[in-house]
Every structure is written in C-alpha cells, then in structure tokens.
Amino acid sequence: MNIALGQSALLLALLGAVAGALTLVLGLVRGRPSLVRAGQVYIWLVVAGVVLATVAMQRALITHDFTLVYVDNNDSTFTPLIYRITAMWSDLAGSILLWALVLSGYLVVMWIRFRNRADEPAVLWAKVAGYVIAAFFFGLMLTVSNPFSRVHGAVPTQGPGPDPLLQDRLLVAFHPPLLYLGLVGFTIPFCFAIAGLVTGRTDEVWLSETRRWAIFSWACLTAGLVLGAWWSYQVLGWGGYWSWDPVENSALLPWLTATAFLHSAVVQQRRGMLRVWNLSLVLATFSLTILGTFFTRSGVLVSVHSFTVDGGVGPALLVFFGLVVATGLGLLAWRGDKLHSPGAVAAPLSRQGAFLANNLLFCAFAFVVLLGTVFPLFVEALNGSSITVGGPFFDTMTMPIVLCLLFLMAVAPVLPWRTASGELLRQRLLWPATAAAVVLLACVAAGLRGVWPLVVFALGAFAGASALRQLVLGMRRAGARGVASRSGGGMIVHLGVVLIAVAFAASHAYEHEAQLTLRTGQPTSFEGHTLVLRGVKQVNSPGRGLLVATVDLDGRPYYPAIEQFALSNDAVPSPAVRSTPAQDIYLTIVSTPSAGNATVALAVYVEPLVMWLWVGGLVVVAGAALSMGPSGRRRPLQEEATAPTSPAADEEIELHDQRPAGSEVGAGV
C-alpha cells in the first residue's frame, strides 16, 4: 500500500507541475485568461501529491515496512520513533522527497501571497519557473532516485537502521530541515529574477517583492549552518565544529552569495544601482544550491556528510545545474539593454562604495571556498591523482578577507550615501575606534599573543561598537522601532557576526589539547584543571550499548561515553562538555575501554569562548527576523542632494523615520 500510494502521489505531483507550467505558458503566450486561471489551480495537485508521498514514506518508516528498499536500508525494529521519522531525510532518495516537500510549501505560500496579483505577467512567469523546478525534482524521484522502490525477492524482517551518527542527537530533527528551508527558499527570489528578465521588468520592484523571502531563507540557512557546527561539535568527538569539509562548503557557498545580495539590494533600492549585479547574485545563489546538491549526492566528494551514492542522480543534477546557469546567463544577455543603472557610485568613501567593496569581498570569499572544494576534482580528472585541500589553505586564504569584512562592518554603517568628509568620519568613528584600542590593549596586558587573533579582537570591538552606536541612535530617533526595523535588525546581525568571529578566532588560536591516560582514583592535571577517573560501566538498552566513563573535572562528575549499536560495527563517541562563557572543557574517549577497566585514554580540549559561537548564531537569526520589518521612510534623492552637509544634519538623513508595518511598497511580501 505504501509503495502504491507513494508512487501514485509522486506521479500526481509531477503531472500537476508539468500541466501547470504548460497551461500557464500557453495562457500567457496566447493571451487566454481562462488558461492562466486554470494553470494556477494545478499547484494544489502538486501539494497534494508531495504531502501524500511524505505520509506514505513516514507510514512505511514508522511501521517498519521492509518491502521498501529505502526502509530496508534506513530502518530497524530497534530504532526509536523520533529517528524513524527523521530517517526520511537520512539518505538520498528521502532527502530529495524532503526537498520537494519544502519547495512545494514555498510555492503554495507564494501562490497565496500573490493571490490578489495573480494576473500580473511577472508573477505568472515566476510561477512557471516554480512549476518547472518542482517538475525536475519529482521527475528525479520517479526515475533515478525513487524512494518507493520495492525489495526484490524475500522481504527482510530487519534493517541496519539509520547511520549511527544520525541517531545520536535530536539535532537531526532540526539541522537538516533548517538547511533545506534555507537552500530551497532561494528558489523564490530566483523565480522572480527569471520572471523579471522574461517580462523585461528589471527595475527595483522585484527586489521589494522578494526581499523578505531572501532574508527568511538566509536566516534559516544561517541557523542550519550553526546547528550543523554544534552537531559536529557534540557528536564527532574531535573537539572542533568546522573542518572546511566539502559538504560544509557546499552549504556555505550560497550563504556567501546570498549575504552579498542582501547588502547590494539595499544599494539598488536606494540608488537604482547594481541591477545586473543583483540579478547575477540571485541566479548564482540558486545555482550554487543545485551545485551543492550535486556535490552531496553524486559521490564525487568524500565527506562524512555525503549520502549513499546513486549513480543516476549526479548526472541529472549536473545537467540541471548547467541548464539553470545557461538560462540565467542567456536571459541576462537578452535583457542587457534594459539593465542599465541610472545611479553611479558617488565616491569610493561613501556608503554605496562600501557596499560594493563588501560585495567584492564576499564574492572573493565564495571563489576561494569554491576553488578549494573543486580543485581536487580537477586534479583527479586531469591526472588521476588524489589530493586534499584542507583547513590550512582555507584559513590562510580567507582570514584577510574576514578582517577586511570586519573593518567594513564598522565603517559602512556610519558612511553617508554621498561623499564622507574627514570631520564626519572622525565624529562617527571616535567611540568605535576607542573601543577597539581599549580591547587591544586589554588583550595584550592579559598576555594574549598572536597577530591574527589580536587583530580580530580589535576589529571585532571596532565593528561591534559601531553597530551599538547605530542602534542607540536609532532608538533615540524612533524608540523600539529603531531596533525592530531593517537597519536595526542589520546592526544586530552585525553584533552576532562579531561574536562568531571573536569566538572562532579565540577557540582556534588559544586551544589546548592533550591525550591523557587516566587511572582510577589518580588525579591528573591539565591547563589548571584536575581530572580523576572514577570508573567505567556498561549501560545497555534495546539495540544499543553505552560504555560510560565517570570523570571528575574540578570536583564535578562528567560522563564521556562510547555508543555501540547492535546492527552496526561503528562506535560513536559521545563527548562530555563543560561549557562556560570563558571556555569549554571537552572530554572524549579515544579508544573503547572495557567495563570496570582501571584506565581510560581520554582526549581533553580546552577551548576559549566556544559558547559565543552558538550565542552569536542566535543573535544573527534574531537580527534577521527583525530586519524583515519595514524599512524607514527615505527622503527623495533630489532632497538628499541638496540637504545640509554638516555631520549632525547628515546623521539625521541616515536615521530614517519608521513607518508602520505594511506601509512600504511590497511590504506584505
């Protein structure tokens, strides 16, 4: 029943997407309103199909329906219910089903949001693009990656269950769905960019219609990346949280280009500039989500995050990626004459100049990450040799970019849209520069050494103080609305980024680690901390066993462990972490001891400020949520050109009046 229901539902969704796209195109080309109206109704077939397919898959997993190959590979009678549910996105075919489910959800929300503008050509062409993308993923599931394939021969009565790493923490229920909400969400800005190019509507209106979609997707992707780092930290037992793994990089790439877009979109909306650039960034962001999907599911990159390889999926995704890129470039070339920007950069030392520099840095960052990720593939294709591009390359190449970005985060918010004078910069940057100097002197006085971390701390203070200054000025001007606005939310995002940068630098530069052999009852000291092994015991539960060491750390018990699953040969470390605002003490068992053993080999990591990575991620997401509010009321450009040029008057121009939500163009998007 589950197989028949699932395959029928996928076929229904595919037919709905294809019929909807064809009907809308015919209605638009022939000018037939009846076809246009009919074409929009097919979205409900798409949604009904993907929901029914999801229900069938979940029912099969929950009831242990081993007639499905997918269930046989990813379920067991010992698997707890929560991990049976999350098993739907624990392997290749199920993850594509989740992708299609999230995409259909976004599309139906778009349909509802624009129900009052359903006859506008740009909206209709955006829906056509959405149908086409959905049709590709449903076609993928009905051909080369079918989650409802039947087991041939005797039906098994037991499966291996999900990968042990995917049934060790509840983060598996949140990290992948958030990543998908972020990655798939960029489909909507992409659809509107394509629609704008098709219809010739290449002005600033499409930005107003997609700004909140882009911010929401960016916030979800940010949360997914941070939770992924936390999951790696909690589960893998290596004391780290980011290893420049190829699959990690695949999710980071669209985040970088989307971040660049969110900054440059402000310039286009405010000054009418960077039209081609912004369209290119949106097209690049969606293209990179497809490229990342290819990396994850094709087997070309080796990673702990990769899915089981299915030979047909990789080529199909690569072809789709090529079609997306070719379509985007072709439309940009076709509409090149309509993409001329009326505005121009007033001066390098202006806000639009800073935003342009910001964009170039983010794109340089993305280029470095992409180069380091794909370079081993090129080398292997050329001469068959295997090489690895690791952390030292990425750290060396990206650190100067990060420092420049921190500097721009401090300077850009205080710059006017016109040319900045020396007097204005001295006034606005006095307190941030003072904060940077104080922090640097305090760090040196505290005995901290190392050029890179000290520069990060100083620039972090510089950028953080600048953001706080802008928030204080906004609150003086508009009260709470000065924070709950686009500019206020942006400054809170900057504060979160500063926390992440400082925590990253501190935990990497000042980490201490050692492998200790602890003997029962004998104290061992490391970096001012005392560790005492109290014993090792075996704890068994259905389908798994837990070997737990009790270790007193400065007088308090902690329990690093090793998990062993009955149907897997892989042992999973379960580290114990003492986390404080100042530092984390990370304990993980190096080799599996036996119960009652008098000695345990323990890896100990002392990492400063790691907690602030997670706090910083939360602050970034909160700031993004606030920035989805309405922007302030901007003065006309002609008025700005004749406004007073004193620093105080210029500050008034930059602090916009806040209006009620929904009062701006496209505010309901």
Token look-up 């790493």 returns 165
Shared-domain flag, residues 394 and 520: no
pLDDT-derived band at 345 (thresholds 50, 70, 90) equals: low
Q: Residue 147 corresponds to which tokens in the numbers above?
A: 């989650």
Output the 3-class SS for 177-218.
HHHHHHHHHCHHHHHHHHHHHHHCCCCCHHHHHHHHHHHHHH
**pLDDT, position 323:** 96
Percent with pLDDT over 90 in the chain: 59
pTM passes above 0.75: yes
Cα–Cα distances (Å) from 249 to 182, 200, 225, in that order, read 15, 34, 10
Q: Which residues constitute the domain of residue 556?
A: 512-608
Shared-domain flag, residues 125 and 269: no
pLDDT-derived band at 346 (thresholds 50, 70, 90) equals: low
Q: Residue 312 corresponds to which tokens in the numbers above?
A: 């047909």
Element (H, E) at 493: helix 486-509
Q: Is the dihedral of CA 275, 276, 279, 281 positive or negative?
A: negative
**pLDDT, position 303:** 60
Shared-domain flag, residues 74 and 219: no
pLDDT (tens digit per residue) in 403-420: 999 999 999 988 887 777
Question: Cα separation of 621 and 219, whole Å?
Answer: 5
Q: Mean pLDDT across the stretch 386-400?
A: 88
Q: Identify the domain boundary among 587, 608, 629.
A: 608
**pLDDT, position 572:** 84
Shared-domain flag, residues 20 and 148: yes
pLDDT-derived band at 652 (thresholds 50, 70, 90) equals: very low
pLDDT-derived band at 165 (thresholds 50, 70, 90) equals: confident
Which residues have CB under 8 Å from 207's CB, separation 6+?
265, 268, 269, 278
Q: Which residues pair with 586 in a beta bridge?
A: 577, 605
Q: What is the DSSP letter of 447?
A: T
**pLDDT, position 247:** 86
**pLDDT, position 650:** 45
- Examine residue 66 and state whether it is found in any structural domain, yes or no: yes
Shared-domain flag, residues 47 and 130: yes
Q: Mean pLDDT across the stretch 199-225?
A: 86
User: What is the chain's mean pLDDT, rounded?
Assistant: 87
pLDDT (tens digit per residue) in 438-487: 999 999 999 999 999 999 999 999 999 999 999 998 888 887 787 878 88
Q: Residue 177 corresponds to which tokens in the numbers above?
A: 């769905």
**pLDDT, position 235:** 85
Of 101, 105, 104, the C-alpha closest to 58 is 101
Task: Among 51-55, 305-309, 538-542, name the most confident range.
Answer: 51-55
**pLDDT, position 20:** 96
Q: What is the DSSP letter of 536?
A: E
Tell me, what amino acid is at 614? W
Strands, sheet with 576-579, edge to edge from the N-terminal-most edge strand: 512-519, 599-608, 583-589, 576-579
- Examine residue 472 and state whether it is found in any structural domain, yes or no: no
Q: How many structural domains are present in the chain?
A: 3
**pLDDT, position 648:** 46
Shared-domain flag, residues 219 and 118: no
pLDDT at 369 over 70: yes
Residue 400's SS3 state is: helix
Shared-domain flag, residues 224 and 107: no
Lowest mean pLDDT among 51-65, 206-220, 444-458, 501-515: 206-220
pLDDT at 306 over 70: no
Q: Identify the domain boundary among 588, 608, 628.
A: 608
pLDDT-derived band at 310 (thresholds 50, 70, 90) equals: low
Shared-domain flag, residues 157 and 220: no
Q: What is the DSSP letter of 385?
A: -
Length of the chain: 669
pLDDT-derived band at 595 (thresholds 50, 70, 90) equals: confident
Question: Over the range 84-101, which residues count as b (16 or more CB within 10 Å of their CB) and which as e?
Answer: bbbbbbbbbbbbbbbbbb
Residue 401's SS3 state is: helix
Cα–Cα distances (Å) from 503 to 438, 453, 460, in that order, read 18, 10, 10
pLDDT (tens digit per residue) in 40-87: 999 999 999 999 999 999 999 999 999 999 999 999 988 889 999 999
Q: What is the DSSP letter of 417?
A: S
pLDDT-derived band at 25 (thresholds 50, 70, 90) equals: very high
Shared-domain flag, residues 370 and 260: yes
Question: Over the range 126-145, which residues count as b (16 or more CB within 10 Å of their CB) and which as e?
Answer: bbbbbbbbbbbbbbbbbebb
Q: Identify the domain boundary among 162, 181, 209.
A: 162
**pLDDT, position 309:** 58
**pLDDT, position 654:** 47
Half-sphere exposure for 441 (CA within 13 Å, toward CB): 6
Question: Cα separation of 422 and 428, whole Å?
Answer: 10
- Examine residue 286 and state whether it is found in any structural domain, yes or no: yes
Which residues have CB under 8 Å from 15's CB, separation 6+?
45
Q: Mean pLDDT across the stretch 369-383?
A: 86
pLDDT-derived band at 669 (thresholds 50, 70, 90) equals: very low
Cα–Cα distances (Å) from 467 to 330, 392, 441, 474, 491, in that order, read 40, 31, 21, 11, 5
- Examine residue 133 and state whether it is found in any structural domain, yes or no: yes
Q: Mean pLDDT across the stretch 80-98?
A: 92
Percent with pLDDT over 70 in the chain: 91
- Examine residue 488 and state whether it is found in any structural domain, yes or no: no
Question: Over the range 45-73, which residues count as b (16 or more CB within 10 Å of their CB) and which as e?
Answer: bbbebbebbbebbbebbeebbbbbbbbbb
Question: Cα separation of 304 and 455, whole Å?
Answer: 33
Shared-domain flag, residues 207 and 317: yes
Q: Mean pLDDT across the stretch 634-643?
A: 40
Of 373, 439, 371, the C-alpha closest to 406 is 439
Helices 187-199/92-113 angle, 10° precision? 50
Helices 2-30/121-142 angle, 10° precision? 150
- 216, 625 Cβ separation under 8 angstroms: no
- Examine residue 272 and state whether it is found in any structural domain, yes or no: yes
Shared-domain flag, residues 212 and 361: yes
Tell me whether strands 599-608 and 583-589 are parallel, antiparallel or unpaired: antiparallel
Shared-domain flag, residues 150 and 206: no
**pLDDT, position 552:** 95
Of 252, 323, 263, the C-alpha closest to 289 is 252
- Examine residue 476 and state whether it is found in any structural domain, yes or no: no
**pLDDT, position 662:** 34
- 112, 65 Cβ separation under 8 angstroms: no
**pLDDT, position 634:** 46
More confident residue, 194 or 272: 194
**pLDDT, position 645:** 42
pLDDT-derived band at 160 (thresholds 50, 70, 90) equals: confident
Which residues have CB under 8 Å from 470's CB, separation 6+?
413, 414, 487, 488, 491
Which residues have CB under 8 Å from 515's CB, separation 6+?
590, 601, 602, 603, 604
Element (H, E) at 470: helix 451-478
How many Å is the maximal CA-CA distance in the chain?
Answer: 85
**pLDDT, position 636:** 40
Q: What is the DSSP string of 35-104?
A: HHHHHHHTHHHHHHHHHHHHHHHHHHHHTT-TTBHHHHHH--TTS-HHHHHHGGGSSHHHHHHHHHHHHH
- Examine residue 496 and state whether it is found in any structural domain, yes or no: no
Of 525, 528, 522, 516, the C-alpha closest to 560 is 516
Q: Mean pLDDT across the stretch 382-394?
A: 82
